[in-house]
Amino acid sequence: MLPHNCHKMTRPSLLNFFCAGNRTIELLCGRASARRPHSSHTMRSVASRPASGFSPSKVAVVTKTTRCEFEQQRYRFAGLSEVDLKQLLAMKGSSYSGLLERHTIHTRNVEHIVKSLEKEGIEVRVVRRGEYDEEVVRWADAIISAGGDGTMLLVASKVFSKDKPILGVNTDPERSEGHLCLPVRYTHAFPEALERLQRGDFRWQWRQRIRLHLEGTGINPTPVDLHEQQLSLEQHHMAHRITTLERRRESGAQDDSFSEPNLLPVRSLNEIFIGESLSSRASYYEISVDDGPWEKQKSSGLSICTGTGSKAWSYNINKLVEQSVEDLLKIGKSQTGLDIPLDPGFVEKVTEEYNQSLVFSPEDKRLFFSIREPIVNRVFSSIRPRGFAKKVCVRSRCWDACMVVDGGTSFEFNDGAIATISMSDDDQLRTVVL
């Protein structure tokens, strides 16, 4: 419940200001990491030893926006004082000093990275995630993501060359998981990481990524950045959609250009989600797997992931909880009369083995698709609800749908739009395994 002082605190401006407050940064950045299960870095397993060391001369360091920076932006936006902010945070069970502390830790870790690079005579550009663009990518020999997995995904999304290495440094290891980042010890010992890079004492890992072709109608080729930290992402989202719809009314060029397959300017490291934008609405679409027949589907959307993403959202869509496994084993036991054990230890073991079977290598050249909460009725056919594929084609029958790349970049995907989802070695992301 709310603290007693909350009634005193219900000044509208403060409330508006705070409405979307707590956990925001995590919401914006944390999905990828948060959605990953406990599990060690598969990066270590499969990778290739470089011929020689790697000594970049120009490195871009892309930094996340801390929750503290975000709240400060917002209270300035709402014209509030720092005192207001402190009270509001207290009201929500957060503390301003706590945010400041996390912010300081992040900043210190970024400084550590930058100093270590400069010490080696490397030219460094520190770039806020909002300022990160193609020009920065072109300039740099290598790009370091300084934040969590969310920042790493954003950094990767703008890199199209398989020769441009990406490193992730988790700048708040106590708070975020950072499965896509280097082992946390290098956060505080970055010179050691650099030295190993220069010595060649590391491995390259080329992570497979997904490419998207769009054709047909009902398409809006301009992506919406869900990372963007505005007061309401939906406002931004809508504003965006309205303007592009108006553009269409004025000229059909955009749609004409999209009547033929178009390769979208983004690559997915984790997964593509296709479905109605509103989470409470069912999605209608047709799907063809590996050039098989088109089948009508109705479900809570569709997920198509890489090996990297098989530990992220796709894992949470498909994993089983021990509760279900136990109930299922009970049924199996009663129906067979066999002495199937039901002790917690066994249930846990079976659950773990099942869930681990959902994870595959980041270098695997296959996609894994999951029809989410499939709706089976006489109208809709029962294609296998999930599986590996080389290529998945989806035709939207949706009303107000999107195609979301790594939970961060969203494309309109309405009735008449057709997406072809595949992998190409040209899209591999060059990452480092220490």
**Which tokens is 33 given?**
């990491």
φ/ψ (deg, to 5) at 414: -100, 175
Least distance (Å) between residue 77 CB and a copy of itself: 13
From the CB of 412, what's the least distance to a copy of itself, in Å? 8
User: Which string of DSSP letters, residue by residue, matches 400-424?
Assistant: SEEEEETTTEEEEE-TTEEEEEEE-
What is the closest distance, in whole angstroms, from the C-beta atom of residue 85 to a copy of itself in the complex? 14
Sheet holding 401-405, edge to edge: 219-225, 409-413, 401-405, 271-276, 302-305, 367-371, 386-389
How far apart CA 107 and CA 109 sit, in angstroms, is 5
Pick between residue 29 and residue 140 the one whose CB is nearest to a copy of itself: 29
- The least distance separating a copy of itself from the CB of residue 286, rounded to whole angstroms, comes to 10
What lies within 8 Å, CB to CB, of 202 at 6+ separation is 50, 54, 196, 432, 433, 434
**Helix 96-119 with 190-199: angle, nearest 10 deg:** 30
CB contact at 8 A, 223 and 317: no
- Shortest distance (Å) from residue 203 CB to a copy of itself: 26
Contacts made by residues 127-135, CB under 8 angstroms, sequence distance 24+: 127/60, 127/61, 127/62, 127/63, 128/62, 128/63, 128/65, 129/62, 129/63, 129/64, 129/65, 129/154, 129/227, 130/65, 130/228, 130/229, 132/60, 132/62, 132/158, 133/158, 134/158
CA distances, 65 to each of 25, 103, 186, 258 (Å): 8, 9, 21, 35
Exposed/middle/buried for residue 149 (C-beta within 10 Å: 0-12, 13-18, 19+): buried
Residue placing its CB nearer to a copy of itself in the complex, 20 or 189: 20
Q: Which is nearer to a copy of itself, 108 or 330 (CB)?
A: 330
**Minimum CB distance to a copy of itself smaller for 324 or for 381:** 324
User: Residues in the chain, how many?
Assistant: 434
Q: Using alpha carbons, select from 167, 161, 107 the residue that is nearest to residue 134.
A: 161
Tell the smallest beta-carbon distance from residue 184 to a copy of itself (Å).
13
Nearer to a copy of itself, 121 or 345 (CB): 345
The distance of closest approach from Cβ of residue 281 to a copy of itself in the complex, given in angstroms and rounded to an integer, is 6
How many Cα atoms occupy the beta-carbon half-sphere of 173 within 13 Å? Answer: 15
Q: Which is nearer to a copy of itself, 52 or 357 (CB)?
A: 357
* Cβ closest to a copy of itself, residue 197 vs residue 383: 383
From the CB of 140, what's the least distance to a copy of itself, in Å? 29
* Cβ nearer to a copy of itself, comparing 50 with 387: 387
Provide the 8-state DSSP code for 260. S
Helix or strand run (H / E) with residue 431:
strand 429-433
Smallest distance, Å, CB 57 to a copy of itself?
38
Question: How far apart are CB 102 and a copy of itself at their closest, in Å?
Answer: 13
By three-state DSSP, how is residue 360 classified? coil
Which lies closer to a copy of itself via its Cβ, residue 129 or residue 386?
386
Say if CB 223 and CB 411 are below 8 A apart.
yes
* CB-CB neighbours of 91 under 10 Å: 20
Q: List the structure tokens of 259.
A: 């009547």
> Which lies closer to a copy of itself via its Cβ, residue 139 or residue 346?
346
The minimum distance between CB 108 and a copy of itself, in angstroms, equals 22
Q: How many CA atoms lie within 13 A of 43 on its CB side?
A: 21
Identity of the residue, 60 or 264, whose beta carbon is nearer to a copy of itself in the bound complex: 264
